[in-house]
Amino acid sequence: MTRATLERTTLGRDAYGAIREMLVDEARFAAGEKISIEALSRDLGISRSPVWAAVSRLEAEGLLQVVPRQGVFVIAFDRARIVAIFEAREALEGMAARLAALRMTPDDHAALDEALTRQARAVATRDGDAYRIANLDFHHGLLATARNATIETSLRALYAQVQTMCAGGASPMDDWDRLGGNVAEHRQVFDMIAKRDADAAELAAREHVRQLLDTILARAGGEGADA
């Protein structure tokens, strides 16, 4: 690999990370919003080539859509797309919980329990930022406990789509009853994993995802809640 090729690869990777952060973590763009490649190039201080490379990766992850002769758009989430995302998530998260029940170590147990404790505390104190962090820590901890890289890659992509979906709606932090329900459902999943009951862990995880889907579909405009 030449130095020029290496530099292009590095720029593309950096652009991908920066744009993905804008979409998922910062919620800078709303669902369905058109994105200017030229503006991104200026903001990032790079040429359009690495930006387009990043857009291609993000399109493959289901976060962006390139429409010929129209431009680049943040994915818009209609009912059919939302249902498809959660059908896939239900199957994968259920399997992750099953595998976690078979593979959990004492360190895994401690990490998941600690994340759940922080989640419950965040709901009690109405701390949205703390809730988001603890929620992600629980889900990522579940994936780490399952020890299946393919499932982890797929679910992380689905989680990113859900976060992007929520960016265009009302803040999920206003529904503390639902967030409290999330914590209770997470605790049920964790308890079944800790008991090494793979069947029950999978069922609990699937039911949790179904509850989330029902909540999201009940919100006007497809608004959602952090899971």
39-79: pLDDT as tens digits? 999 999 889 999 999 999 999 988 999 999 999 999 888 89
CATH topology of domain 3-74: Arc Repressor Mutant, subunit A (1.10.10)
Residue 64 pairs in a beta bridge with: 74
Domain ranges for the chain:
3-74, 79-222
Torsion of CA 30, 59, 26, 212, to 10 degrees: 70
Q: What gap in Å lies between CA 124 and CA 180, rounded to an integer?
A: 8
- Note the Cα 95 to chain centre separation in Å: 17
CATH architecture of 79-222: Up-down Bundle (1.20)
Q: H-type helices in 30-127, by residue range?
A: 37-44, 48-60, 79-103, 106-125
81-137: pLDDT as tens digits? 999 999 999 999 999 999 999 999 999 999 999 999 999 999 999 998 899 999 999
Is pTM, for the whole model, over 0.85? Answer: no
